[in-house]
Amino acid sequence: MPTRRAGGRHGRPWRAAGVTLVALLALSGTALLTAGLNPAPAQPPQPARTEAGEASAQPTPGPGTATPTPTTTPGTRSGAPGTASGPPPGAAAPPRAVGLPRSEPVRITIPKIKVNAKIIPLGVEEDGTVQVPSLKEARLAGWYRGGASPGEIGNAVVVGHVDSAAIGPAVFFRLGSLKRGDRIEVTRKDGKVARFTVDAVASFPKTAFPSELVYGDAETARLQVVTCGGTFDRKKGSYPNNIVVSATRIP
């Protein structure tokens, strides 16, 4: 797929800042209409929660090179000496989560916001730019194939435009209106449907994108859905934030 910049409104290309992961930060952060020439388009709904984050002060790893989040496993020690984080002696270890085998996703359905969209696989360009759906295909969602597939153990990442000059509101225009407990379904190429329940919906400044949340290791099957958010800046022709919906698979 040729290099494209995530689209919302102006459709100007964007590039990862030093690493490819940052490329997704600008997803759908462009203008529906040329700023200054047309009335402001409809504002997409925003989540109630906005996170300031601390990622802006840290380097952001790229897909495939994300630094794993340090986790404490049963039987290992964490914190002060003598404080064990695992189960007490003789206690059974918690059962390991079981995921689905790897299979490419083909469709995402979010009944609450009437999303029923085809999913296309996305990779990374040689110049360090993350591929995104074409602005002419802004009603499609994209799956980052460098991560887990939906239903596998790990973070599966699905991205999509919030709007585009060609069609107006795009596939994830209403993503910010989701709430905890809402359902998301992803149909896979193997015919299985991975079902998820939303844990959290938050808006993050693009300068503080939660890379570890979205791309870091996970011990269960999780889904991260990303688009642009915040109040559209007509002067800059972009949205300032990213909306991230985090969900956990329903076994």
Q: CATH number for the domain including 200? A: 2.40.260.10
Q: Is residue 81 part of a domain?
A: no
Q: Is residue 70 part of a domain?
A: no
Q: Is residue 9 part of a domain?
A: no
Q: Is residue 115 part of a domain?
A: yes
**pLDDT at res. 87:** 55
Q: Considering its fold, how many domains does the chain have in total?
A: 1
Q: Is residue 146 part of a domain?
A: yes
Query: Are 239 and 8 spatial neighbours (Cβ–Cβ below 8 Å)?
Result: yes
In the predicted model, residues of the chain with pLDDT beneath 70 are 1-41, 52-94, 127-130
**pLDDT at res. 238:** 84
Q: Is residue 196 part of a domain?
A: yes
Domain extent for 105: 20-65+97-249
Q: Is residue 194 part of a domain?
A: yes
**pLDDT at res. 130:** 64
Q: Is residue 127 part of a domain?
A: yes
Q: Is beta strand 154-159 parallel, antiparallel or unpaired with respect to 221-229?
A: parallel
Query: Are 34 and 10 spatial neighbours (Cβ–Cβ below 8 Å)?
Result: yes
**pLDDT at res. 30:** 47
**pLDDT at res. 143:** 96
